[in-house]
Amino acid sequence: MKRLYLLRHALTLPTVPGGRDFERVLAPQGESDARALGIAMAEKSYHPQLIYCSPTQRTQRTCALIQTHGVTGNVVTQPIIYEGGRSDIFALIKNTPEHVQALLIVGHNPSMHELAAMLAAHEPETFLNVLAAGYRPGMLCVLDCPRAAWADLQPGENRLIDIITSEND
């Protein structure tokens, strides 16, 4: 059994005039939410061994803030998380080394939402209702994947066991 964590970066400030989307930074509320998420993850013993993170400022900062509260794991920057879509990230997951039991992806919408919806089984309904409402900034979905190897991961068969959202939503 594998465990997959899908995290959309925390709340950001708008792009500054003349700035690039890639350089957007977290809003003060996003900083606070990311810290709170790190605490919640540690309290629930959500400990990824490996973290694939988009190279943007907002995802890197989100990742750094959750790690300040005991969420550990080797961080590997993966440009495809920013540049690609759902299928590219799915391929990245499927190519994860077999010895990794728990994987965290820190990325963006719409890819995180599309990936969670694609991978999740159709239960429990309460979590699926939350997922159907959108994938807000700082939202984390936790999936248990009934496979011994990431390469065997299949859509629609993974149990959505938890969703953590900001208390400020």
Looking up residue 133, the CATH number of its domain turns out to be 3.40.50.1240
Do the domain assignments include residue 137? yes
Contact by Cβ (8 Å): 9, 106 = yes
What is the structure's pLDDT at 116?
92
Do the domain assignments include residue 150? yes
What is the structure's pLDDT at 164?
93
Do the domain assignments include residue 153? yes
The pLDDT tens digits for 82-121 are 999 999 999 999 999 999 999 999 999 999 999 998 999 8
Block residue for tokens 């989307």: 21
Amino acid type, 129: N
How many structural domains are present in the chain?
1
CA distance 146 to 154: 9
Residue ranges in the chain whose pLDDT is less than 50 = 168-169
What is the structure's pLDDT at 5?
98
CA distance 160 to 48: 16
What is the structure's pLDDT at 126?
62
Q: Give the residue numbers spanning the domain of 45.
A: 2-70+81-100+112-164
Do the domain assignments include residue 169? no
**Which pairing describes strands 2-8 and 140-145: parallel, antiparallel, or unpaired?**
antiparallel
Length of the chain, in residues: 169
What is the structure's pLDDT at 69?
80
What is the structure's pLDDT at 169?
43
